[in-house]
């Protein structure tokens, strides 16, 4: 089952950058433009609330699954486990013959040809993984352009690819489980995320103890554990599951498979090591509903519901009004005050839109827009400069408020307040910038 899940996750990882939803990439984390596209929805850098709700929902989902099923993420879905156990290690098993063969090569008992071939295949796989990883940040179209061109034309991205490839190669070739034991903080959170009724990979001491090696001359009170130590040998992190729940256990269930195979060979029922809970192993009553199992999903429902509500009710465009660069205002020869304003519009719709810019309740104010309406392609941002000209005597205390009305002729329409500035009544005569 884990192998099937792993291969599905690999296929999803490789295919997602190529899938498009509503004309947009399914996932594109464009750091340069500070825009994240997730399953057809564009998140702009100003949408702090949406980012917070998204991250909070992911965190609460992890908490809820951990409380219910233990470290199911580590054992079944973490990329470290998926690629190491179902891509890199099978190649090592095929070329070197597993743990015994690898140790023999380490001791220089065999020529290093197979070891060099393994490193070559690992390097190629790491290169493919790093390119796929980069596609999530630049898009497959830009990545294809970079692949066809000389690295000298895009040295920064080429160095990034080399760095990511080297990191992946080092991780899956040498560092391996140390990533889980040293670098990942998730295992250290078990003490607060798990309770005595959470599902864990556990050894049943009531059935297995007392342990006794071999099958011959076993006394009547001997436990089912025959001290074969296959559960320790197959454990990626090298722990003994018989010592109880440990931070290093990633719930990969390889000890379960190893123990079950031995139990079947000696005519004992499987399940000496199995998915269980500490209360169940102690013979205490177990129940699904408990405080954290209720609170975590409830908090997740609120967070995810707020995220969906904000996504469904947010406007199709985001408008930002910025003061023009240079002089904040100018005074014309006829005494009128001119403010330069930059109008920045981000189109979140799935189709191109043209946004008409106007003043609401102008009150003597005049709008001059060189490009009106302003066309903005789907999912992109465009900026245009407009001028607002007002009589000098309409400025009170050197300032005046106006309201911009912007609409696309379809679903989006909004009004945006802006503060014009100008000279005080006692300012210098008209004719020059202030």
Domain 317-421 is of which CATH architecture? Sandwich (2.60)
Output the CA–CA distances (angstroms, integers) from residue 423 to 328, 330, 399, in the order listed.
10, 9, 8
Of the candidates 233, 227, 221, 217, the residue with the CA atom closest to the CA atom of residue 272: 227
Q: How many CB atoms lie within 10 A of CB 399?
A: 11
Question: Would you write out the chain's pLDDT as a tens digit for each of its 434 residues?
Answer: 999 999 999 999 999 999 988 778 889 998 887 788 888 787 877 778 888 999 999 999 988 888 888 888 888 999 999 999 999 999 999 998 887 788 888 886 666 788 899 999 999 999 999 999 999 998 898 888 888 888 888 888 889 889 999 999 999 999 998 998 888 888 788 778 888 888 899 999 999 999 988 887 788 888 999 999 999 999 988 899 999 988 889 999 999 999 999 999 999 999 999 999 989 998 888 777 888 889 999 999 999 999 999 888 888 888 999 998 878 889 888 889 999 999 999 888 878 899 999 998 777 889 999 888 899 988 788 999 999 999 888 888 888 889 999 999 888 888 999 999 888 755 444 444 44
318 bridge partner residues: 346
What number of residues does the chain have? 434
Euclidean distance between the first and the last CA atom of the chain, given in angstroms as a whole number: 73
Which stretch of DSSP H or E encloses residue 346?
Answer: strand 337-347
Assign 396 to helix, strand or coil: strand
∠ Cα 20 21 25 (to 5°): 45
Assign 116 to helix, strand or coil: helix
Output the CA–CA distances (angstroms, integers) from residue 147 to 14, 15, 128, in the order listed.
17, 18, 12
Alpha helices in 139-253 (DSSP H): 140-148, 155-170, 178, 190-193, 205-208, 230-233
Sheet holding 35-38, edge to edge: 27-30, 35-38, 41-43
Sheet holding 374-376, edge to edge: 374-376, 353-360, 399-407, 413-421
Task: Say if pTM beats, i.e. exceeds, 0.85.
Answer: no
Residue ranges of domains in the chain: 2-46+71-190, 196-281, 317-421
Q: In Å, how far from its chain's centre is CA 295?
A: 24
């Amino acid at each position: 089952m884990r192998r099937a899940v792993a291969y599905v996750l690999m296929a999803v990882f490789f295919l997602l950058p190529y899938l498009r939803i509503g004309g947009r990439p399914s996932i594109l984390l464009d750091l340069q433009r500070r825009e994240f596209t997730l399953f057809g929805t564009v998140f702009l850098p100003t949408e702090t609330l949406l980012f917070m709700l998204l991250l909070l929902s992911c965190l609460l989902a992890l908490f809820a699954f951990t409380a219910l099923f233990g470290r199911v993420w580590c054992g079944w879905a973490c990329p470290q486990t998926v690629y190491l156990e179902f891509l890199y290690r099978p190649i090592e098993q095929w070329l070197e013959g597993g743990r015994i063969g690898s140790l023999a090569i380490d001791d220089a008992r065999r020529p290093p040809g197979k070891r060099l071939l393994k490193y070559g295949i690992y390097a190629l796989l790491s290169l493919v993984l790093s390119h796929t990883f980069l596609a999530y940040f630049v898009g497959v179209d830009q990545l294809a352009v970079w692949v066809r061109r000389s690295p000298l034309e895009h040295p920064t991205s080429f160095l990034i690819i080399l760095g990511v490839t080297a990191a992946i190669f080092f991780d899956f070739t040498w560092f391996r489980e140390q990533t889980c034991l040293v670098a990942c903080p998730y295992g250290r959170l078990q003490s607060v995320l798990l309770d005595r009724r959470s599902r864990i990979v556990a050894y049943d001491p009531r059935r297995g103890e007392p342990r006794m090696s071999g099958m011959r001359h076993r006394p009547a009170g001997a436990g089912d554990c025959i001290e074969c130590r296959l559960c320790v040998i197959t454990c990626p992190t090298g722990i003994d599951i018989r010592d109880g729940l440990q931070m290093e256990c990633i719930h990969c269930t390889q000890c379960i498979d190893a123990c079950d195979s031995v139990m079947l060979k000696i005519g004992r029922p499987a399940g000496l090591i199995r998915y269980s809970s500490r209360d169940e192993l102690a013979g205490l009553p177990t129940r699904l509903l408990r405080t954290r199992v209720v609170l975590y999903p409830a908090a997740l429902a609120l967070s995810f519901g707020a995220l969906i509500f904000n996504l469904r009710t947010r406007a199709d465009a985001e408008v930002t009004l910025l003061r023009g660069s240079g002089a904040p205002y100018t005074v014309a020869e006829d005494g009128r005050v001119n403010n330069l304003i930059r109008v920045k519009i981000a189109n979140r719709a799935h189709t191109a839109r043209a946004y008409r810019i106007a003043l609401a309740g102008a009150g003597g104010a005049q709008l001059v827009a060189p490009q009106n309406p302003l066309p903005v392609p789907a999912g992109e941002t465009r900026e245009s400069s407009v001028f607002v000209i007002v009589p000098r005597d309409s400025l009170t205390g050197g300032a005046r408020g106006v309201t911009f009305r912007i609409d696309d002729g379809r679903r989006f329409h909004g009004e945006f307040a802006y503060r014009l500035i100008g000279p005080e009544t006692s300012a210098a005569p008209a004719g020059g910038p202030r």
